[in-house]
Structure 1
Amino acid sequence: MIKRGFFYYSRTLESLTPRTLAAQKARVFLLFPEGDNNFMVFKIGWFSTGRDKAARDLLRTIYNSIKIGEINAGLSFVFCNRVLGESEESDRFLKMVKDYDIDLICYSSKDFNPDMRRMGMTNPVVLEKWRRKYDNEIIKRLAKYTADLNILAGYMLVVSSKMCEKLDMINLHPAAPGGPSGTWQEVIWKLMDLRADRTGVMIHLVTSKLDEGPPVTYCTFPVRGPVFNKLWNNLNRRLKDKSLAQIMEEDGERNELFIEIRRHGFIREQPLLIKTIKAFAEGRIRFENKRLFMGNEAIKDGLCLNEEIEACICDQNNSTQTAKAPYR
């Protein structure tokens, strides 16, 4: 039955439009990610801790883009460093992956050599050894899979140098090149502390240094102007009597400036990720020996996609599709 279904797709491909053809290829790949097929589908490996709604939204967006043929690629596997029962949020993520019928590999970083990891919290040498040991176990578990590109989307571990050498990996980071490192929450508080004028979203090559790999693609946007000025003024007024740490403690993620910065970053994350994966899948950009190339040209500082991303946001607004940031 599977083979008959597969050959049915093969026989009908010549009559399909390019967009429909990509969609059919994607459906076949989603059904047979490692099976016998004749399609040279670009294969994606996906790494996530699945710690929040944002992690689910990113995977859902890429899955749907593949399914409709917007991205001519397939998801080879999803790796999660949590197992069922570690948290409600990651459990939701794992259920979603299973519902999508994507191969899921789980291996708990929390339960892996916990004494060594605890020692590593105060000893960088020990921590790097722990990372290498843990990543060795990941590599073993992924041995039967192939991926042309591996995407870290909400993966909350620093990757070892060995893993970086073995795999081409990109990471979605909620700041512009040269901006703050850390989670999106940490980035926003740092931007507020720095009284930043601009920020952005970046996809960068993963290295063993947290959020410091060379940029692949990025977009930027202002955090000043009509929408923001009143919120900055409110913050500055409160800072006369309190420290930013006290405001963080009182407001948490309910702070109005925090919310607005997050909203503007969030609506750019998914379009940037889609356009980046699409460019890799279509061969317009590629990695060679950990360097980014477009054609024969090496791209040192990444590709700025401001115009393309702003056009996507305008299209979303025109379609009355309002994106809401996952604050929790």
Structure 2
Amino acid sequence: MKMIGWFTTARGPGSFNLFSTMMASIKSGEIDAKLSFIFINRDVKGNQYRQRMIDIAKDEGIPVIIFPSDTFRPDLKEKDMATWREAYGEGLRERISQYHMDFGVLAGYMLIIDPETCRHHTLINLHPALPDTYKGTWEEIVGQVVENNDPSYGSTVHLCTAELDRGETLAYDSFPLAGLRSRIKDRDELVKAVRAEELKREAHLLMESIKSLVDGELVVKGGAVYDRKGRKVEDHPDLASRIDSRLRR
């Protein structure tokens, strides 16, 4: 059985939905895996989603590691961000080293992973943009999608590498925006609607991607993605039709 590390900032409902969907997928047997630990890079600080996630994990016997990045060596962070990131990454690796992890999932993890951690561990990241398009937070990205009049939008699951949001793609999901644009003319309302549609779909994309790794449909070696026969995957799948089917269940 695969052991998965779950990395999150647990900032809000999106992160919580990803976690709860993962737990449901494990319990139903859809994903034959266990969470080895949950790593959270923030203190609870009264955040209800963070606290609920911690409570569920503890009820399920899943270790919770809290290592706040926002209070970690602020002097170094101000002076040299790259060195700070390396130092935080060293602390992260030390804290997770006691747990077995076949691969890790960055699910609403609002911090750039340092290069050394990417080299040490296989990590996949859910990024709220189509492959090879936008970088940044979902707020920044969806705003650009709306302002640039993009015909479609979606999210990507990719390998974590030293280059931000540019690792090898495992899979992605896309959906057209014409219908939303025809109904909603206000820019801010359109941003909210596009984000809401993406939120409905992103957990399904992540579950399908995790399942493909757990079942051996996809295999990661040396920063590249291969199929079960050892052939390098060149055409990364758009799982839109599969996700549409999941949403109709």
Q: Secondary structure at the match of 1:158?
A: coil
Question: How much has 1:141 moved relative to structure 2?
Answer: 1.0
Per-residue deviation, 1:86:
6.8
Structural mapping, 1:302-313, within 5 Å: 302-313=236-247
Structure 2: gaps of 5 or more residues: none
SS at match of 1:303: coil
Shift of 1:88: 4.7
1:266 to 199, 205, 208: 199
Contact kept in structure 1, 2:16 and 2:49, CA below 8 Å:
no
Counterpart position of 1:61 = 21
Of the three residues 68, 71, 80, the one matched with 1:108 is 68
The correspondence of residues 1-328 of structure 1 with structure 2, limited to 5 A, is 41-85=1-45, 87-119=47-79, 126-225=80-179, 227-231=180-184, 234-235=185-186, 255-294=188-227, 295-315=229-249
**1:187-237 C-alpha deviation (Å, 9 max, x unpaired):** 111111211111111101111222222211101111113x42132xx24xx
Whole-Å separation in 2 of the counterparts to 1:87 and 1:208: 30
Higher relative CO (CA 8 A, sep ≥ 6), structure 1 or 2?
2
CA RMSD of aligned residues (A): 1.6
Q: Is the 8 A contact 1:158 1:209 kept in 2?
A: no
Q: Cα 1:100–1:187, aligned 2, differ >3 Å: closer, same or farther?
A: farther
Whether contact under 8 Å (1:50, 1:94) holds in the other structure is no
Q: CA deviation at 1:308?
A: 1.1
Q: Is the 8 A contact 1:97 1:104 kept in 2?
A: yes
Measured in 1, the distance between the counterparts of 2:47 and 2:84 equals 23
Quote the Cα distance in structure 1 between the aligned partners of 2:45 and 2:200.
30
Distance 1:206 1:282 in 2: 20
Contact between 1:52 and 1:89, CA under 8 Å: does it hold in 2? Answer: yes
Q: Is the 8 A contact 1:42 1:148 kept in 2?
A: yes
Structure that is richer in strand per residue? 2
- TM-score scaled by length of structure 2: 0.93
Query: Mean Cα displacement is larger for which, 92-101 or 68-77?
Result: 92-101
Normalised to the residue count of structure 1, the TM-score between the two structures is 0.72
Q: Does the 8 A contact of 1:217 with 1:276 survive in 2?
A: yes
Distance 1:100 1:56, change over 3 A: farther
Q: Distance in 1 between matches of 2:118 and 2:235?
A: 19
Give me the whole-angstrom Cα distance separating, in 1, the residues matched to 2:57 and 2:14.
Answer: 14
Task: Give the share of equivalent positions with the same residue, in percent.
Answer: 31
Is the partner of 2:248 in helix, strand or coil? helix
Question: What is the number of residues matched between the two proteins?
Answer: 248
Unpaired runs of 5+ residues, structure 1, are 1-40, 120-125, 236-246, 248-254, 316-328
Residue by residue over 1:104-146, the C-alpha shift from the partner in whole angstroms, topping out at 9 and shown as x without a partner, is: 1111111211111122xxxxxx211111111101111111111
- Structure 1 residue 185: deviation in Å? 1.7
User: Does the CA-based 8 Å contact 1:201-1:269 persist in structure 2?
Assistant: yes
- Name the amino acid aligned to 1:287: V
Structure 1 residues 223 and 206: alpha-carbon distance in aligned structure 2, compared to 1, 3 A threshold: same
- Measured after TM superposition, the shift of residue 84 of structure 1 is 3.3
